[in-house]
Amino acid sequence: MKKTRNVLVDADACPNQIKKAILEISNFYEYKVFFIASYSHATDQYRNAEWILVDSEPEAVDMYIVNHSIEGNVVITQDHGLASLLVSKGVYVISPRGKRFTDEEMPSLLQSRYYSSKLRRSGHRTKGPSRFTQEDAERFSESFKNIFSDLAE
């Protein structure tokens, strides 16, 4: 895999309309897209993208992305733990809902993630994400384009 001008996508939980937007926008800016997914989530729906399939073990996709991302790459994920590892490496990280992750917010995001996990382990229910909307898709496209603008400067 070429080490520059890459977009890596945590594809297991990425909505299809976001995958389509990723391909369109990345193609315009001449970035290569790699969808990283476990074998259990393999699909041939996006044949014009490169798919990298990893084991179905927990965190296999995340570990692949961490090990193959370098400064200046763009990663799409909703995993706060993965995002925290990447932003410290100079990787641009954005969620499928258009949330751009920064180094400054990582301590509070990880603290919140920890408390939610602790509550779930003790038997409490925590609120999941809201239903994905067209506004989320539009916010993603705008934020994703802004990252490429930042990279061009």
Strand-pairing partners, residue 50, are 34
| In-domain check, residue 18 | yes
**Does pTM surpass 0.85?**
no
pLDDT for res 48: 67
pLDDT for res 43: 65
Output the domain CATH number for residue 74. 3.40.50
Q: What is the count of structural domains for the chain?
A: 1
pLDDT at residue 3 is higher than 50: no
Cβ proximity of 99 and 80 under 8 Å: no
pLDDT for res 145: 96
Host domain of residue 63:
6-152
Written as one letter, the residue type at 149 is S
- In the chain, where do the E strands start and end? 6-10, 32-38, 50-54, 74-76, 92-94, 100-101
| In-domain check, residue 1 | no
Residue 53 belongs to what H/E stretch?
strand 50-54
